[in-house]
Structures are given as structure tokens and as C-alpha cells.
Structure 1
Amino acid sequence: MLDYSHNAILVVASLGVALMAGFTGLYLTHGANRLDSQRRKFVVALAAVILGGGIWSMHFVAMLGLQLPILFYYDALVTLISALVAILMVGLALLLLHFRRRTMQTIVGAGVIVGMGIVVMHYVGMAGMQLCRPVYSIWDVAISTVASVVLSVLAIWVAYDNRTQRNILLGTVCFGVAVFTMHFVATGLTDFVVSDVPSGAGPELNNQVLAMGVTVSVFLICSAFLLTGITFIGPSQEAEPAGDSEPAHEPELSVLRAGVPFEREGQTFFAEPYRIAAIRAEGHYTILYMDSEKLFCPWSITEAETRLLSDGFLRAHRSYLVNPKHVSCFERHKDNGTCYFDGVEALTKVPVSRSRLADIRSALGL
């Protein structure tokens, strides 16, 4: 058995890579369910590459910091396969989250897939080592798998149970810790022995070449992190709506801070958009349906649709806007549909017109 140690700087750097990739991938998909199917697929694919590439990059940054008393290299084909496995498995998890109804079972299933993806990527990547063979038992793999799956389920649950900025940040921490913990738990349970006979199927990949490849990968992750981070801390803190949009004007920014206006007993109050289940046109004004109340709002239905698009509200009918987060049941008819609401005493259902059916079903994950 060979003695080994780790370079502390690269250990810390590997955690940083995992956190940056986690934030970028999780925030990139924020608001993806409001996009049309093609754009949503593109966003999911891009997020899968970033998250899966982040898992791979974190692993090999840490492996570059692995200090053994012998020289060793990697099989290039196996190393490439390890990256593709991570991307594909994370992509499968994101497809479940963004193209299926998001229930607790879906969230847990996606977390399990991500956790297994981390494990498979790690052990496939380790199998690519040449002139030095990793040795571990089935119990070592089981312990690493449990750690990875539990932490990954926690990360996906935190990030997707409620898609707020706070949840995305906490999910980022959980994701980074999941990847980092799995790697070093598995490595700590692994012994290394000298292997005189190379068993690689592809060309050799020494640490110098690997370092250049990992550097490029980390550079791309850092760039994506910076670009995504600017939108996170900028004035507009929600995902952009589908299609081209005009720059935000100052009155809209003040509405985002104040909420949706409604009148009660001669006074104007402001409601948080997430509390509103639906909005109905009433001439040149609108009625808000919130909890057990019907409230008068000075906005027109068109103004409400424009201002609340970034909060997830969708036009279900020419006279109605709905908040998909409050829809408890959806019924499909021949060429239209109906959204049902629980806990909203003043409103039980809203009709969905044929032209709006596809958007509503997409927002509901159907």
C-alpha cells in the first residue's frame, strides 16, 4: 500500500469549483418552467453540462492534489467517459425536475440520480488511473454512495422545494458539500497499490495534460458563474420571461419592492405576488383573489400580466391571470382546460382557453 497526502490549496480549490458549478447550474434553471419547451431543453442541457462538468472538474482538481510516492497517469478514454457519465446523469435528473410534475417523489428521485452520478463519475475516473491501482471494498463503495445520495437529495430538495434565491444559495452549499464530501470520503476509504501493467484502452493522459484540460474546464465554470452571479445580484432578481423583453423601468422596480396594490376601506395596501392565486379582469381594473378575499386592484389585466410575468403569473384566459403555484388540480377538456384552487374561498376554478393551454400545462409541468 502506498502512503499518500493531499495538497491543501487544491483541496480548497476543488470545493470552490463544486460551489461555483452548483450555483451556476441551479440558478440557470431558475424560471426555466416558464420557457417554451425548446428553450427549456436548451437551458436544462446547459445546466447539465455545467453541473456534470463541475462534478468532474472538482474530482480532478482534487486528484491533481493527490500526492503519491510514484508517478502515474490516466487513460484518456476512461477519463472522458467519467465526464460524460456525470453530465448525462445530472441531465436526467434535471429533465425529471423540469418536464415532470414536481412532487416530493420527483425531487427525491432526481436527488438520488445526482448522487449516483457523483459516485459513478468518481469510481469511473479512479478506474482510469494507470501504474497505480485504487483498492477498495464493496462496503467502501456503499458508504460513499450513502453519503453522496443523502447529501444530493438534500441539495435538490432545498433548491427545488421553493425556488427562491435563498433556497438556491442553500442548495448550492448542499450540492458543493455533497460532491466534496463524497470524493474525500471515497478517497479516504481507498488504498493505492503499484500496478506495473497498464490496462488503459485509450491514449495516455499525464498530470500536465490533465491539468491543462481541468484548467480550461474550471475557467469556463468560473466565467459562467460570474455571468450568472451578475443577474443574481442585479436589479431583476427573477428569471427573465420567455422571448425578448424591454429593459426594466423604474416604476416596475418600485412595484417589485412594494408589491401589488389593492384597495380596502379607502386605503391602498400592497400584496406580495406569491400570495395571490389569480387575477380577474373587471373592466379597466382587476380583482385579486388572495386567501378568502376578493380585492380591488387599480391595474388593468394587461398591466398586471406585464408586471407579474417575472413572478410566474400566466394568462389562462382573456379575463384571467393565474399563479401556477396555487393551482391544486388541472382538468384537460377536449380543446381547453380548467385550473382548480384549494384554500381560495372566493375562487374555486379558472377556465383555460385553447390558445393558453400549452403554456399553462408547461408551467404546471404537464
Structure 2
Amino acid sequence: MVQLHVHYNGWVVFLSYVIAVLASYSALVAASKIYRAEGRIRSAWLAAGSFVMGCGVWSMHFVGMLAMHVGVHVHYNLGLTLLSGFASIAASYIAFRATLREEVNLLKLGGGGFFMGMGIVIMHYTGMAAMQTDAVISYEPWILACSVAVALAASYAALYLFRLFRFAPDFNVWKMASSLVMGVAVCGMHYTGMAAARFQSDSAVPGGGSDFDPYLLAAVSVIALVIVGTLIGALFFDRNVLERMAYLDSLTSLPNRHGLHRYFEGRFSAANGGAVLFIDLDRFKTVNDTLGHDVGDLLLQQLAERLRETIAGEEKAELFRLGGDEFLLAWGEPSVEKVEALAVRILRTLKQPFVVNENVLYMTASIGISLAPAHGTERSALMKAADTALYRSKAAGKNRYCIYDENMEREQFRRLELERDLRKAYAERQFFVVYQPKWDSVSDCLSGMEALLRWRHPQLGIISPMEFIPIAEESGLIIPITEWVIDEVCGQNRKWRETGVASVPVSVNMSRRMFESEDLFEVIAASLERYRLQGSTLEIEITESVAMNNSVDVVGQLQRIRALGVRVSMDDFGTGYSSLGSLDEMPVDILKIDQVFIRKSNIQTKRAIISNIIAIARNLELEVVAEGVETKEQMEFLQARGCRLIQGYYYGKPMPPEEFGRWLDQRTMIGTEGR
């Protein structure tokens, strides 16, 4: 037996290294893509990445074998050759699966590296077994052991790099450098294994024969490069087209909800501190309703650009658009002082006028802030806390920021409970109506009443209308509740008239939602007819914001209602959005001075406002009622200014209908004794 000497073609060896580097780079890129994907998309990338990396490593191995020259002809068993390729793909699959775990310690990483390394060893020596030649192949045990050690070390290093670069962009200098190192490791394992092989033959002719097949080499190389190139091309397309569509908002080019999810999984570390700011435009719906969605979109683009400029100097600050006029700012490792300072800058920036299609728009925003780890460490917890704080900012008057605290959570929970119980309250008739008198201070007699809704909760007791009415309006339950109140008031008014207790009009407060339903006229007409009442026995009270709302035909509905004989009162006059220029065009009969002015009627400026409201009502031939009168001094001041109709605790508090008759008898008796 003659020992055959092994020679290598240097250019083919270099080609095998190039294939190994490309396969390594593709594997590193695929690892980050697999980790960030979910569901079926992740499975598809896992299968594609395993196939490409496995084929790349196998191609490098096969090209490396073709680079070898031993002086005898070599053929390959197709079945064993394919089996070696399958082993390479399986080893790649193990590698990628190991990178998917959220938490991996050194022991688990070592276990994954062991199975991957053994898969590569099996691939290599199965490929060697596929060689069919007259030579006898044997192995040097210690070099073979070294090749196994190199395979295990290379596999462990590959898994470490996969974990290290799973969040890195698709192109990364360190990723490219790591690919060069991985290429050396993969080739090192192969050529160490080849060095362990000893070829002996009786028929070899020194320097004769050739086992180098340039056509086979070209075919294998082209297939390997095409496979790797296809993956790189797919990754490029995914990165520049599909990923942009999936993770970026098409209107503002900001990351969207999917981008936010990926950011929190990969780049936001709550343990090191952080902040989430929910930013929401105030009254953005009005812009869309009045100027159109095209103007609204242009406004959002300008808004996004201003926000980008505002946070440009802040490290680790990332801006997202969640949809509509909702934006979110995630910021890593800021102090509370920095967060508050940035919130103030954002509010100040957004108050500057926007010019959109020759429309000058003055906007404000509300901001809710949550802090990590104080308010949570997970994305959902931080977003929920920021959203709760945003709601508080809106409720507090908008154009401000608010930092979350636990009291807000309790209030939010109570609000959700009340919203749930409101439906049951309506079905089980837990609501009741109390009546507050309106007194003519000059004639000293009852001139009317206001019906006020109350809720007796079976567990929580009496719930303030200031608390449950806004919830009822948002949920839409205010519509059936108001219909019930109108019917209840008309029924009670009929009873009082029949028993001789009182024959005065009763007023009912109307929500904006009642006008949006466009059924208010029919509801009122039906109740008046059901209880055989004239329209003059009923009044409806509307706020200034409802009266000035142009989005629904409020004026037209009020005119039809007044045609029934029902009078209309403008409640809380002077505190809303009324325009004195159009007040005379509004179909109202009564102005009610808000109690905010009455409480401070000892202040000269408030007295001047009250006097002007009374003068306006007199000149427009409207009645005027003062709310919240509690003292004799307030009543005498109003009388002196010409306001005779008084409502407030000075004359009577809200009371249930069964007490109203007794109160009226006592009040009449006091008036008679006074005269």
C-alpha cells in the first residue's frame, strides 16, 4: 500500500472560504429576522434560513473536497452525499431554534452548540464516506478529535453570535466581521477533518491521475451562490419593502404599532429606567369634520415633523404613530425632570399655529406619562398607565401633561365598574328624580322646578351625577336614560296638577347626544300626549356648547320643540363657547346665570359680568334665572339688578316628589306670615 499525498488547489480553497463567509453572513441576518418574526412568518423564515445555511455549509464542504487532489479518480455516492447535506440543514435548524429562546444561559447555549457541532461532524464524515475511490481512507485519531473540537467550538461561537446580533439591523459592520471569523471557523473544521484523513492505494501513480472535475466544481459553486444570493435578495426585499410596509406608518413614515412592539422587545430596557409618553391632539375630530380628512392628514404630517424636531437632541428617544391622532414617545433612561421638561416643550411646540392649505389651525395636545420600572416593566403595563394618565389630562381640561399614579388606576377601575353597573341601573330602575324649586323672589311664589337625575347604587349608595353623567354620555346610555326622565317628569307633573300641589313648568337637562339621535322631538311629543299635558308645562335646558354645535341641526330641532309650546333654557350661560353675535338667533327663552358667578358675587368684576348678563337677557326679551343662590346678600344683589327668578339652597334644595308638597306648604306659610 502506497501513502498518497494530498494537494489542494489554492483558488478552490479560497472559493470554499467565500462560500462559508456568505453562508455565515446570511445565517446572522436570518437569525435576527427569525427572532423578530412571529407565527407562520417565523416558521417560514426558520425553514428558509436553515435550508440556506445548511446548503451553504454543505457546499463549502463539497467545494473543499473538490479542491483536494490525491492522484486517483474519485466519485461520490449520491445517497450519502444527500444525507450529508440533510445533516448540515438539521444542524442549522438546531442553531436557529436555540436563538429563539428568550432566556438562554451558558449551559443551554452549550447544549445547543453540542448538537449543532455534532450535526456538522456527521455532515463532514458522511460526505467523506460518500467518496468512492480505489484508495483506502483512514483517520488519525488525535487530528479527528481536534476536528470534532473545532466543530463544537465553531458551533458554540455561531450560537453566541446569533444571539448577539438578533436585534441588529440587516447590515452591520460587526456582523460582517463576525461572518469572516465564522468563515475561518467553518473552513478550519473542514480542513482539520481533511488533515485527519490518510489515503493509501496500490494503483496510484505519483503525480498522475486527476480527481479534479471543473464542471462539478462550477455546478456546486453556482448552486451555493444562487441559494445564498437568493436569501440575501429576499432579506433585502423584506427589509426595504415588506418591512417598511409592516413596521412604518405610511402617512408619517414613523414606526407603527408593530414597530413599537419590536422596539420594546429588543431595545427598551425597563430595568434601566424609561418613560412612555402618550400624545393625543385635542379636538382633532373637529378638523376632520369641518375641513376634511385630507387637511387632517396634512396636519398629522406637520405634527409628526414637529415632534421629530422636538426630540431630535434626545438620545434613546423613539417616536411612534399608533393611529389617528395618537402618537407615542418611548424614551430610555431619562430622569423624571427630563421627561417633564420634554413634555412642556412638546406642548409649547404644538401650540404654535399650523398652516395647512391656507388654513391657520391652532391646536393643543394632551400627554399621559408612565415611568419604568415604577409603573411597570412590560410594554402593555406602561402603555396602559400612560393611557390612564392621558385620560386624566383630557378630563383636567386638556393642553397639559399628567404623570400616572395609583389613584388614577383606582379611579379608572371605579369608572369601568360604574359603566358596567349603569346598564343594570337602567334596567332595574335604580335612577330617581329630585326636584329643585325656582322661586320668584318678587312675587314670593313658586315659578318652576328643575328635574335632577340621581342614582342609588345598591352597594355604593348615592352616586354623584358629576361622576356618572359623563360616563352615560360616552357610552350612549344617556339617550334611554333621558327618555325615561322626560316620561317620569311628565308623569309626576300630571300627578301634581291633579292633586293641586303645583301647576308650574318643570325643566329637564338635555345632552348633546339627544340631539344627535334626532328623536328628541318625538320623545317629548309622545310624553306630553301620554299624560295630556300642554307644552308649556315642560322646559328643556341645554348648555352653550350644545347650542353652538353646528355638527347637528340643533337649531332646527329646537324650533320644532318650541312649536309644541315647550320653552328652551340656556344653562350655565357665560361659562361655555357662546357667541354673543349669534345669541339673538338662537331659539331660547331663558338664560341661566351659572353658579360660578353667583358664588363670587362679592367680587366687583363678577358683579359686572352678572349685571351684563341680566342686561343682555332683558334687551333680548329673555327671562333670566340665577343658579346656586345660597345667601340673602346674593338674592338681594340679584333683585337689585333686575333678576327675580332664583334657584338655589337659599329657597330650597333638590328633593324627592313626596317631600315637595310639604316643602311648598311650609314655604307658602312662611311667605304669608311675612306679609
CA distance in structure 1 between the partners assigned to 2:369 and 2:111 by the alignment: 32
SS in structure 1 opposite 2:220? helix
- 1:349 is the counterpart of 2:345: no
| Paired position in structure 2 for 1:150 | 153
| Paired position in structure 2 for 1:97 | 99
Structure 1 counterpart of 2:313, which letter? Answer: F
| Paired position in structure 1 for 2:460 | none
Structure 1 counterpart of 2:30, which letter? Answer: L
CA distance in structure 1 between the partners assigned to 2:45 and 2:331 by the alignment: 33
Match of 1:291 among 328, 333, 343: 333
Match of 2:192 among 185, 189, 195: 185
Deviation at 1:352, TM superposition (A): 4.1
Deviations 1:257-314 (A, max 9, x none): xxx9999xx986322359x9x9999x95656453263424659xxxxxxxxxxxxxxx
SS in structure 1 opposite 2:194? helix
Whether contact under 8 Å (1:133, 1:193) holds in the other structure is: yes
Q: Share of identical aligned residues, percent? A: 21
Match of 2:315 among 246, 267, 271: 271
Match of 1:15 among 1, 13, 17: 17
SS in structure 2 opposite 1:71? coil
CA distance in structure 1 between the partners assigned to 2:321 and 2:330 by the alignment: 5
Deviations 1:222-278 (A, max 9, x none): 52265267569x879xx937x74669789659xxxxxx9999xx986322359x9x9
Counterpart mapping for 1:114-263 below 5 A: 114-131=116-133, 132-163=135-166, 164=168, 165-194=172-201, 207=213, 210-211=216-217, 213-224=219-230, 226-227=232-233, 230=236, 240=243, 244=246, 252=254
| Paired position in structure 1 for 2:74 | 72
The change in CA–CA distance for 1:56 and 1:267 in structure 2 (over 3 A counts) is: closer
Structure 1 counterpart of 2:377, which letter? Answer: K
Structure 1 counterpart of 2:226, which letter? Answer: L
Deviations 1:164-192 (A, max 9, x none): 22443233223211210011111122211
RMSD of the TM alignment (CA)? 4.3
Whether contact under 8 Å (1:56, 1:86) holds in the other structure is: yes
The change in CA–CA distance for 1:98 and 1:78 in structure 2 (over 3 A counts) is: same
CA distance in structure 2 between the partners assigned to 1:87 and 1:64 by the alignment: 20
Deviates more, 1:52-61 or 1:108-117: 108-117
Deviation at 1:3, TM superposition (A): 0.9
Deviation at 1:210, TM superposition (A): 4.2
Deviates more, 1:51-60 or 1:149-158: 149-158
CA distance in structure 1 between the partners assigned to 2:49 and 2:24 by the alignment: 9
The change in CA–CA distance for 1:267 and 1:153 in structure 2 (over 3 A counts) is: closer
Gap runs ≥5 in structure 1: 197-204, 254-259, 300-318, 323-340, 357-366
Higher Rg: 2
Deviation at 1:348, TM superposition (A): 3.7
| Paired position in structure 2 for 1:201 | none
Whether contact under 8 Å (1:292, 1:345) holds in the other structure is: no
SS in structure 2 opposite 1:269? coil
Whether contact under 8 Å (1:122, 1:183) holds in the other structure is: yes
Structure 1 counterpart of 2:137, which letter? Answer: P
Deviates more, 1:223-232 or 1:122-131: 223-232
The change in CA–CA distance for 1:40 and 1:280 in structure 2 (over 3 A counts) is: closer
| Paired position in structure 1 for 2:628 | none
The change in CA–CA distance for 1:195 and 1:5 in structure 2 (over 3 A counts) is: same
Deviation at 1:13, TM superposition (A): 0.2
Normalised by the length of structure 2, the TM-score is 0.37
SS in structure 2 opposite 1:240? helix
The change in CA–CA distance for 1:248 and 1:21 in structure 2 (over 3 A counts) is: farther
CA distance in structure 2 between the partners assigned to 1:109 and 1:153 by the alignment: 9
The change in CA–CA distance for 1:349 and 1:71 in structure 2 (over 3 A counts) is: closer
| Paired position in structure 2 for 1:314 | none
The change in CA–CA distance for 1:33 and 1:74 in structure 2 (over 3 A counts) is: same
Whether contact under 8 Å (2:54, 2:92) holds in the other structure is: yes
Deviations 1:99-140 (A, max 9, x none): 564444443333333322222211110011112332103322
Question: Number of residue pairs matched?
Answer: 292
SS in structure 1 opposite 2:76? strand
CA distance in structure 2 between the partners assigned to 1:320 and 1:195 by the alignment: 85
CA distance in structure 2 between the partners assigned to 1:63 and 1:321 by the alignment: 62
SS in structure 2 opposite 1:270? coil
Gap runs ≥5 in structure 2: 204-210, 256-274, 278-306, 348-366, 385-675
Deviation at 1:33, TM superposition (A): 2.6
The change in CA–CA distance for 1:246 and 1:286 in structure 2 (over 3 A counts) is: closer
- 1:48 is the counterpart of 2:50: yes
CA distance in structure 1 between the partners assigned to 2:127 and 2:249 by the alignment: 45
SS in structure 1 opposite 2:313? strand
Deviates more, 1:212-221 or 1:182-191: 212-221
Deviation at 1:30, TM superposition (A): 1.8
- 1:112 is the counterpart of 2:119: no
Whether contact under 8 Å (1:135, 1:191) holds in the other structure is: yes
CA distance in structure 2 between the partners assigned to 1:351 and 1:226 by the alignment: 32
Whether contact under 8 Å (1:97, 1:110) holds in the other structure is: no
CA distance in structure 1 between the partners assigned to 2:235 and 2:41 by the alignment: 21
